[in-house]
């Protein structure tokens, strides 16, 4: 998803060139994502702490997005104790 965002917003590059981007350049571009982009909502839904949200409807909305946008367990290494302890839901 980040690769598709980068190509659509900045320029078309090969996937290998995308992987070879310097981390600082990638982080700067990632930090400048506008709130209107779908990638921003996905990132926010993964990072938000739903326990701190007072409004029940808003909390339910973010919990649903968090479930839908979680990183599948298949992407974690079998020896990753964090993923195992969390049941593969991050």
Q: Return d(Cα 77, Cα 31) in angstroms, integer.
A: 27
- On whether both 55 and 11 belong to a single domain, the answer is no
Instruction: Based on the fold, state whether residues 71 and 50 are members of the same structural domain.
Output: yes
Q: 26 with 58, same domain?
A: no
For residues 64-75, give the mean pLDDT.
78
pTM above 0.75, yes or no: no
Q: Do residues 38 and 28 both lie within one domain?
A: no
Long-range contacts of 43-48 (CB under 8 A, 24+ apart): 45/69, 46/70, 46/71, 46/90
Looking at the structure, tell me whether residues 78 and 58 fall in a common domain. yes
Q: Within 10 A of 76 (CB to CB), how many other CB atoms are there? A: 15
Number of domains making up the chain: 2
Identify the residue with better confidence: 7 or 88.
7
pLDDT at residue number 90? 46
Which residue has 């020896």 as its token pair? 79
Count other C-beta atoms under 10 Å from residue 6's C-beta: 19
**pLDDT score of 80 more than 60:** no
Report the C-alpha gap between 60 and 65 in whole angstroms: 9
Domain that holds residue 76: 34-90
Q: Is residue 55 located within the same domain as residue 20?
A: no
């Amino acid at each position: 998803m980040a690769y598709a965002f980068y190509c659509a917003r900045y320029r078309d590059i090969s996937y290998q060139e995308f992987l070879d981007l310097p981390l600082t350049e990638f982080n700067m571009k990632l930090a400048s994502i506008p709130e209107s982009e779908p990638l921003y909502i996905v990132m926010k839904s993964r990072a938000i702490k739903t326990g701190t949200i007072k409004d029940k409807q808003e909390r339910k909305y973010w919990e649903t997005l968090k479930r839908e946008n979680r990183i599948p367990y298949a992407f974690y290494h079998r020896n990753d104790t964090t993923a195992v302890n969390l049941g593969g839901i991050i």
